[in-house]
Amino acid sequence: MTYRMSLFFIAFLVCLTNPVFAQDDGTDDKKEAVKKVEEKPKVFAKTFTGRFNDERVAYTVTAGETFLKNDKGDNTASIFSVAYTKDSTSDPSSRPVTFVFNGGPGSASLWLHMGVFGPKRVVVPSDGRDAGAAPYLIEDNPLSILDVTDLVFIDPVGTGYSRALGEAEGKDFWGLREDAKSIAEFMRLYLTSNGRWNSPKYVAGESYGTTRAAQLVSELQNTFTGVALNGVIMISAVLDFHAAEFAMGNSLPYVSVLPTYAATAWYHNVVSDKPESVEAFVEEARQFALNEYSVALLKGSRLSEEEREILVRKLSRYTGLSETYVRQTNLKVGDFRFMKQLLRDRGLTVGRFDSRYTGEDFDDAGEYFDNDASAYGIDAAFVAAANDYLTRVLEVDFTKRYKILDGEPSRNWKWSTRNGGWPSYVNVAPHVGRGMRENKDLRAFFANGYYDLATPFFATENAVAANGIDPERVVMEYYEAGHMMYTHKPSLEKLADDVRLFIRDGEK
């Protein structure tokens, strides 16, 4: 018996045993009316004034839900967003709007919101130390880019307060295409309800958010949606997932991560004949990876013993690992092995999101670390700041949990865009290349952390070079920090200035 039939059978028995329930007393209509009232989106708005980049800006914050509907007009999802709009804008075409999200998949947008772009930010130690416990310093953020663009921070379904509605389920939105379609529809609704169709439009993502941004280029520009983007802002990008799969027979990840290994070894002073700058050492490692290491891995067992020993010595220098260890790994050091091995003699591990961070494990003999020091070092501060800001400052009146980085979406994520056929890895970089060919104004900004082992900068450089992306319309910037480079104050200042300049250049 199906679930629906079971419900019908139970209802039938109730009517037989207690006929009064079958009388038309208006109860069902009342329940339906209550249901409809409960399903209206909640919206909370407040006005503020701030000073950003030394410019005074009066703005309205609108935090609330947007309901997505299916072709029948039924609600399918509630997307929670926090939008900041300048109050004095008379001509929408003169004011850009930037849609911002984080990654995961399964992450809310609090990291970019409370870390760099929003009018408030949480302060964490700039030197890679643990942020500890509350109270945390949450302060005005004069580096916010509200002086040059309105901002809309989006939480995809299953993150923040966003959720599936009606008969829809979260998994209906958890996939490469499914996720992009829902965000594209949210953007369409926002542009329509706020009269912003003729505004310059940008999308900004971090980590998987850059994957989403690239997929959105296709979803918005190639499906007659009619949203031509002015720019995509990619922070700690991951576009070609072939470069992220450390697997037997796949040499690309080992090549892609090597310059980040070199930066990490340089930072922790385990480099012989250490150059004065991380940039100089990274460039050495970049050229070695591109011109020698990649060829050597392609040769594999065809390398001569002499060639292998030359590679061992050079890899030892660029990774900071012993020649013995490099030799034992057969010239291929996986990322998690590196994080555990580099500072093993000191009893420390290095962080994945930011290898400036160090952690201590229960024992030093394991192959992998217990946890990522660069994650647990800051997550409590960001979670506390986001919840405090939303509930106390913006007075968002929800009792449900604000989901920060929920594992359910990522566990159920549909990565393939194909229906049958040969399996393939995800590479969304070609969407950006095609987007540029079909939109002369589309530009791309890439922010790369030297100490980011999660999304290495060399992998981004290679993806941009290999997928038809016009280098003349690409801005590539680097920061002496990791995945969330804005936790490092000098990098935060540089990132804000770089993105501000990128948007301003688009107005010329």
Would you state the pLDDT for residue 508? 66
Over residues 353-370, the mean pLDDT reads 94
Would you state the pLDDT for residue 19? 36
More confident residue, 406 or 117: 117
Would you state the pLDDT for residue 339? 97
Decide if 250 contacts 242 (C-beta within 8 A): yes
Residue 5: CB atoms within 10 Å: 9
| pLDDT one-digit tens code per residue, 119-138 | 999 999 999 999 999 999 99
The full set of domains in the chain, from first to last, is 43-242+379-505 (3.40.50.1820), 246-373 (no CATH)
- Would you call 77 exposed, middle or buried from its count of C-beta atoms within 10 A (0-12, 13-18, 19+)? buried
| pLDDT one-digit tens code per residue, 220-274 | 998 777 899 999 999 999 999 999 999 889 999 999 999 999 999 999 999 988 9
| pLDDT one-digit tens code per residue, 139-166 | 999 999 999 999 999 999 999 999 999 9
Would you state the pLDDT for residue 423? 63
pLDDT level of residue 420 (50, 70, 90 thresholds) = low
3-class DSSP state for residue 148? coil
- Would you call 313 exposed, middle or buried from its count of C-beta atoms within 10 A (0-12, 13-18, 19+)? exposed
CA triple 323-328-331, angle to 5 deg:
75
Decide if 143 contacts 53 (C-beta within 8 A): yes
Say how far apart CA 474 and CA 443 lie, in whole Å.
Answer: 6
pLDDT of 418 over the 70 cut: no
Instruction: State the residue for tokens 């941009």.
Output: 464
Would you state the pLDDT for residue 92? 86
Instruction: State the residue for tokens 């839900």.
Output: 65
Would you state the pLDDT for residue 28? 46
Decide if 75 contacts 38 (C-beta within 8 A): no
Over residues 325-333, the mean pLDDT reads 97
pLDDT of 217 over the 70 cut: yes
Over residues 20-26, the mean pLDDT reads 41
pLDDT level of residue 419 (50, 70, 90 thresholds) = low
Would you state the pLDDT for residue 506? 83
Say how far apart CA 376 and CA 357 lie, in whole Å.
Answer: 10
| pLDDT one-digit tens code per residue, 30-77 | 444 444 445 789 999 999 999 999 999 999 999 999 999 999 999 999
